Amino acid sequence: MSTAFRSHDHWQDKAACRSPQVTVLFYPPYSPEPKSERIARESYAKAICKGCTVSDECLKYALDIDEPHGIWGGKTELERKKLKLTQAIR
Ligand code: SF4
């Protein structure tokens, strides 16, 4: 998740993925990524999200802005698209 344009005392201040060393897990590399590496990277990122105290806020934010990249609130971009479609159908 991006930490740009944060206001004071924002939910992003409590993000479990704030460290640059951790953030790389949440986005694909610039070079082609083998499927097995993508699955492993996404699993690590999702495990971090599971322990994050602001995952609900994070997912809501990503859905609200139609964030097209990365893992937010424990969901990949494809999972967020499916979630939005499901919500639109209901
Ligand atoms: S839910 Fe995941 S992506 Fe969102 S702030 Fe927490 S650790 Fe980061």
The rounded Å distance from CA 61 to ligand 1 centre is 11
Ligand 1 pocket check for 58: Cβ under 6 Å:
yes
Query: Residue 90's pLDDT is what?
Result: 81
Please say if the pLDDT value at position 7 is more than 70. Answer: no
Q: For the residues 1-16, what does the mean pLDDT come to? A: 72
Position with higher pLDDT, 2 vs 80: 80
pLDDT at 22: 93
Please determine, for residue 2, whether its predicted confidence score (pLDDT) is greater than 70. no
Atom of ligand 1 nearest to the CA of 1: 3
* pTM more than 0.85: yes
What local confidence, expressed as pLDDT, does residue 24 receive?
93
The answer to whether 27 touches 77, Cβ cutoff 8 Å, is no
65 CA → ligand 1 middle, Å = 15
